[in-house]
Structure 1
Amino acid sequence: MGLLKLPWVGLIAMAIFFTPALAHASSVPGANPDILFEYKDDKLTKTEKAQLESIVTFAERDVRAFFPKMTKQIIFTIETVDWDLNIVGGITGMATNHTPVGKINLMLSDYGKGGITRAIENGLRSTVLHELHHVASGWTIEDNKFGPGIHIATANEGLATVFSELLSGQAFDMLLDSDNVDEWIKEILTLPDDANYMHWVSGEHPDGRMFIGYKAGRHLIYRAMLNTNKNIIELSREPISSLYEYAGYR
């Protein structure tokens, strides 16, 4: 989940120059040998690493139960940052690859009271669920299975957000509906394919609106669920165009 004013150039560079040879399997009880971890710095304690790896292991198991065809091996790259990520539980992530190996970058904030431990406890599970949904669906930075367009990004982020909320039981205030989110979806459907991603999905629009695509996507998917009685797994298998149709926008 890439959010407001994060240094995306640096994050994408980190994904490109990722070195899987440095990744290792977890030693926590019940660890999955196909889940590998790479730590970009030494700021996490042994206890924090064990807690993180345990949460990731169980989250991956939960996601695979719904998406058994998700790529078998997944590598998590963990980096600590000093950004204020409190609005998303102290952590953000980015799914960079879905095949032949899934790759997810996690950025844990040591900002504020509680630091890294608080981020692991408050935001890790929901973030990992969100990013694993992207891996399972193929909505990743590289080898993306989908075409261009803010409406496609909006739907995919909506699917991952709702999936994460339902499995984690956690929703962040910054993603809750705005009063005119219905109009935002209609606006998104008129945009050209090359519309600015940061303005329309994960950052701040020039008019001051925040996280338009995430809020609109979440609203879109919950509305599609309500109108069709389809669950989030069923909707995750549907074409993007059908999601807008189910939600009443086409």
Structure 2
Amino acid sequence: MFKALSLALVLGATGTTTVALAGQQVVGAQSAVAVSFQAGETHDYTASERALISDILNQAYQITKADFPQLADAISVELHPINRPGVDALGGVTGRAQRPGVLVLEMSVTYPGGPEAAARAGLLRTGLHEMHHLARGWTIENNAYGPGIAIAAA
């Protein structure tokens, strides 16, 4: 059985960040990153994990947007807990730019110290990498350049 909780990181006019549950309105603010936390058989993200993950993804978004202004003004992230110890060697996080504006990230529940430790170890790096793919149009679905490795040099 899978459950999902969506949170949105909201950037206020003063640069403050607010975390809102999906459906909540925040007056005078624009949502930058909407995270859908997927619950798996072995893990359901806690409130502290959600807050840390959302903060790191917002940081990745702000850094990427500064370097790649063409990055969409709002993106969605699906975050899945995984029980795949091989990902632990990568910092506990892997992912892909699924389609324009959408990232799919997977976080190891077997990473030493759990998902919070994995978030601290690998989420910023993976978020930056995958958001740069979004900004460049390099996505699994609806790739702006069509098929082939030649796009890597673009």
TM range (shorter): 0.7 to 0.9
Higher RCO, 1 vs 2 (CA within 8 Å, ≥6 residues apart)? 2
One-letter identity of the residue aligned with 1:93: G
User: Deviation digits for residues 51-74 of structure 1, max 9, x if unmatched?
Assistant: 110111111011111111211110
Q: Partner of 1:47 in structure 2? A: 48
Q: TM-score, normalised by structure 1?
A: 0.49
Question: Which sits farther off after the overlay, 107-116 or 135-144?
Answer: 107-116
Q: Which runs of 5+ in 1 are unaligned?
A: 1-18, 156-238, 241-250
**Are positions 1:73 and 2:74 aligned together?**
yes
The structure richer in strand per residue is: 2
Instruction: Give the distance between the partners of 1:93 and 1:34, measured in 2 at CA.
Output: 19
Instruction: Give the distance between the partners of 1:119 and 1:112, measured in 2 at CA.
Output: 6
One-letter identity of the residue aligned with 1:114: G
Instruction: Give the distance between the partners of 1:112 and 1:130, measured in 2 at CA.
Output: 20
Instruction: Select 1:93's aligned residue among 92, 95, 103.
Output: 95
Instruction: Give the distance between the partners of 1:148 and 1:49, measured in 2 at CA.
Output: 35
Q: Partner of 2:32 in structure 1? A: 34
Identity over the aligned pairs, expressed in percent? 33
Q: TM-score, normalised by structure 2?
A: 0.77
Query: For the pair shown, which has the larger CA radius of gyration, 1 or 2?
Result: 1
* Pairwise CA distance, 1:149: 2.1
Q: How many residues align?
A: 132
User: Residue 61 of structure 2: SS of its match in structure 1?
Assistant: helix
Q: Partner of 1:139 in structure 2? A: 138
Q: Which runs of 5+ in 2 are unaligned?
A: 19-29
* Pairwise CA distance, 1:110: 0.7
The structure richer in helix per residue is: 1
Structure 1 moving runs of 4+ over 6 Å: none
CA contact (8 A) 1:108 1:116 kept: yes
Q: Partner of 1:113 in structure 2? A: 112
CA separation of 1:25/1:112 partners in 2, compared to 1, >3 Å: closer, same or farther? closer
- The CA RMSD measured in Å over matched residues stands at 2.2
